[in-house]
């Protein structure tokens, strides 16, 4: 068993849940609501910029030149996807560069990006790599799963092709390989830290899709008060 086999086994339930999320099942049938996807793709553009910054921070701390290049190339790849895929959909949805620049990240996006930036800047290098892995691995698995059952003429075909494509597969294989090498070198405590960071990032992936599907925005004090006033009165 490799270290990433262990990580897969440990997060099996959560990852299965992600595949079954309404966002992903609706995307496979092509029935995902347009406004839901529009909100997602804008948040994802903000996310990918933060993710590329986190990869760059990790790259700067990598122990050897080959790993610096691998992570720096992955950062450039994330920006390239953001440019191509997101521009494709944003043009279709009428989201301009100016509108995008004015968008604030959702709480889910902000939370995920902050976690990756903090771990990549301040955590041990192996923990940073474990935190960055789900962004690659989960999207590859979801991309292939959706591609296998996608409806013909799916309006989300460009997204599905990107994440089930060969170029993305190759970058995921390199990241899995790096994580396995670091996991093999790590002692028991370091492996525990890596596992915890990996699991937390898997949760953030789930939360990002869940929040996009619900079209969540930041909760305001008045939302919380309205929710409390609907709660049943205490009986005792």
Ligand X SMILES: Cc1ncc(CN)c(N)n1
Closer CB to ligand X, 6 or 210, in the complex: 210
The residue within the footprint of ligand X, chosen from 135, 142, 186, 197 (CB under 6 A), is 135
For position 145 contacting ligand X by CB under 6 A, the verdict is no
> Closest approach of Cβ 47 to ligand X, in Å?
5
Of the candidate residues 3, 47, 156, 213, the single one contacting ligand X (CB under 6 A): 47
The count of C-alpha atoms lying within 13 angstroms of the C-alpha of 166, restricted to the half-sphere facing its C-beta, is: 0
Q: Does 3 bind ligand X (CB under 6 A)?
A: no
Q: Does 175 bind ligand X (CB under 6 A)?
A: no
Rounded least distance, CB 18 to ligand X, Å: 11
User: CB–CB of 53/47 below 8 Å?
Assistant: no
* Tokens at 38, concatenated: 């529009």
User: Smallest distance from the beta carbon of 99 to ligand X, in angstroms?
Assistant: 19
Shortest separation between residue 157's beta carbon and ligand X, angstroms: 16
The span from the first CA to the last CA of the chain, in angstroms, equals: 54
Q: Using the 8-state DSSP alphabet, how is residue 82 labeled?
A: I
48 sits near ligand X (criterion: CB under 6 A):
yes
Structure token digits, residue 113: 């990006």
Total Cβ atoms within 10 A of residue 31: 13
d(C-alpha 71, C-alpha 77), whole Å: 10
Residues of this chain that bind ligand X (CB under 6 A) = 44, 47-48, 135, 139, 205, 208
């Amino acid at each position: 068993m490799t270290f990433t086999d262990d990580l897969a086994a440990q997060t099996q339930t959560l990852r299965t849940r992600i595949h079954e999320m309404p966002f992903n099942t609706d995307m496979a049938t092509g029935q995902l609501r347009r406004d839901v996807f529009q909100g997602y793709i804008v948040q994802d553009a903000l996310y990918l910029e933060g993710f590329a910054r986190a990869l760059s921070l990790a790259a700067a701390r990598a122990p050897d030149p080959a790993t610096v290049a691998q992570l720096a190339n992955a950062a450039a790849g994330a920006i390239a996807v953001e440019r191509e895929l997101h521009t494709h959909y944003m043009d279709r949805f009428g989201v301009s560069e100016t509108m995008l620049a004015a968008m604030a990240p959702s709480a889910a996006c902000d939370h995920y990006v902050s976690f990756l930036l903090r771990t990549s800047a301040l955590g041990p290098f192996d923990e940073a790599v474990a935190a960055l892995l789900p962004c690659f691995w989960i999207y590859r698995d979801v991309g292939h799963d959706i591609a296998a059952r996608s409806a013909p003429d799916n309006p989300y075909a460009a997204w599905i092709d990107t994440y089930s494509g060969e170029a993305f597969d190759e970058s995921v294989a390199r990241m899995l390989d790096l994580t396995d090498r670091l996991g093999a070198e790590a002692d028991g405590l370091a492996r525990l830290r890596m596992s915890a960071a990996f699991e937390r990032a898997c949760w953030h992936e789930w939360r990002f899709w869940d929040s996009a599907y619900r079209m969540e925005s930041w909760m305001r004090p008045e939302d919380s008060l309205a929710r409390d006033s609907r709660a049943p009165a205490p009986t005792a």
